[in-house]
Structure 1
């Protein structure tokens, strides 16, 4: 009976590989289920194997167990299918690459690496630089340099509901991209509640200004910047890319970001996961009814035009924090304006699927980001 209970529990957990998480802690578990699928499948197989010593409910437990294993492994199969055409699809959407991508879109054996870092790519040395001083605060960035002079720079903008998080968030991608010839500046920006929109976009502009001023010692090509943001940071990255009108911004990478703040306020997320309206009010400074013009002003989708830079969108369909619809709307607006872009759709993935670079979502997104950089920069 105990065996059956544990197998049923793992069956219920396996449903997170195909359905959206119903509450906050289930969302965290969903990241593990979808990005470390072999771990959960292996534990379930051990439970199935224990049936040789437990005869009561043996068949029921075995059947449910194997169904669970199939569900746990489903992200791997789906990732393999997407990977098959990913290179060709990106080249068709964005054009030919300037540099060869050393990665495969998906490699099963990388799933066995349970660390967050890609094997053979250690952390790159990082320095902390103060990039702007305001009357009431100063801001720093974490700089990951390349060894080659005059290389593009990727400005990384962290997530955290506009009110938390810092430049140390998910640094593994920073190191990987630096290993592959891109300077990385992971910035801190002014956070809500103390500061509100458009303060973070101003911070991005000041980061670009600082990096250009110190380009020689930092090995930066001042004509080639790419903005990369996650979640709330993706909203900042998109808004900066579409409103700063800086020709040195060659592209923007959007990891599961809210692109339409007006629509997002109208359809709040599951309150058991996050009070999205409260998060937006803290960042924007009022409800939509109170300050509708500010919601429009911080909606990246409102500023897409025919001069917008190329855009890479990465989003999981089972995202319970930032609705998948945001990316569909952004994709449609980019299409209408003829902007080169690519939308990497991950049907099984949830918010934060890039927690590890070696999971199904992590591998595909890492490949796509590097491919995008190799295409949009020289």
Structure 2
């Protein structure tokens, strides 16, 4: 009886481990992050903090995340992003948090800043994002990166840069897009928007996971002026938010999961910790199992 009990107690942890899922459950310890410089621009070193799971697969899916801050502040050291990063790495992902040029530091990004300047700001941030991704892909073997499983992500200004880089590359990089060979498996947007959904076509339509509040007064939830500027103001520019983007993805027969928060403002740009099970479940189903999901969740 004692020997049978010992065998049972030995097998129980193994059975529990087998019941857990990589990319969904926390299975790994997380290594100390490594910091690399991916570019130097305007005398500033732009860095990537890379978090990796211990003793996981040799080629790992990699989330590359861009922080928010109105293109004037923020950091890849933000505790919210770091917490997200460690959670994802424990599930088997590499996660890279990047810095980028804060071109509006100590400057306005509101209605008094010309629309042309806003477009240029998006373009420079999108370029930085893609340069960081290119650096990681170029060092894929060194960092155990599966270059066919790159997941983009961003919050607020970071989400605007990332979404524009992926869904509006013509407007960001021109017809001679130097990043056209980089492929993404999915994108995560926390209160982001793009310049023009009409430029989003089947070629760029990768699966998206969106979080946005209906009363966001900075980044439009649907289609509206950025910061709700008046047409007479220099900063008047129309952007397309999560509702408009997901409507286009639906028409393009592309997967998406959209969490729509009634009455919520720009605070939805914060990390959606309570929705992590749905977030990682969506990535598991869409990126790794090629499932088709088109769903809007109203909160």
TM score, norm. by length of structure 1: 0.53
* Higher helix proportion: 1
Taking structure 1 as reference, are residues 100 and 123 closer, same or farther at Cα in structure 2, changes over 3 Å only?
closer
Contact 2:211/2:268 (<8 A) preserved:
no
Query: Offset of 1:222 from its aligned partner?
Result: 1.4
Q: Secondary structure of 1:196's match?
A: helix
Deviation at 1:237, TM superposition (A): 1.0
Q: Could you say what secondary structure the match of 1:208 adopts?
A: helix
The match for 1:369 among 274, 279, 290 is 279
**Matched residues in 1 for 2:96 and 2:104: separation?**
24
Name the residue aligned to 1:153: 62
Q: 1:300 to 1:217 in 2, by over 3 A?
A: farther
Equivalence for 2:36: 129
Cα deviation for residue 154 of structure 1 reads 0.5
Cα offset, 1:157, TM superposition: 0.5
Aligned to 2:184: 249
- In the superposition, relative to structure 1, how do residues 122 and 139 fare at CA in structure 2: closer, same or farther (>3 Å)? same
| Worse-matched range after superposition: 123-132 or 200-209 | 123-132
State how far apart, in whole Å, the 2-side matches of 1:191 and 1:376 are. 33
Q: How many residues align?
A: 221
* Structural RMSD (CA): 2.7
In structure 2, the residue matched to 1:211 is 136
Bigger Cα displacement from structure 2, 218-227 vs 130-139: 130-139
For residues 246-290 of structure 1, the C-alpha deviation after alignment (integer angstroms, 9 at most, x for no partner) is 45311111111123xxxxxxxxxxxxxxxxxxxxxxxxxxxxxxx
Determine if contact 1:353/1:362 at 8 Å carries over to the other structure.
Answer: no
Q: Which has the higher Rg, Structure 1 or Structure 2?
A: 1
Following TM superposition, where does structure 1 have runs of at least 4 consecutive aligned residues deviating by more than 4 angstroms?
A: 120-124
Query: Which one scores higher on RCO, CA 8 angstroms, separation ≥ 6?
Result: 1
Question: Residue 101 of structure 1 corresponds to which residue in structure 2?
Answer: 24
Give the 5 Å matches for 1:71-82: none
**In the alignment, is the contact (CA less than 8 A) between 2:212 and 2:259 conserved in 1?**
yes
Matches of 1:321 and 1:215, distance apart in 2: 36
5+ long unaligned stretches in structure 1: 1-97, 104-119, 260-298
| Residue pair 1:99, 1:375 contacting (<8 A) in 2 also | no
Kindly indicate which of the two structures has a greater share of residues assigned to strand: 2
What is the TM-score when the length of structure 2 is the normalising length?
0.66
Q: 1:246 to 1:341 in 2, by over 3 A?
A: farther
SS in 1 for 2:122: coil
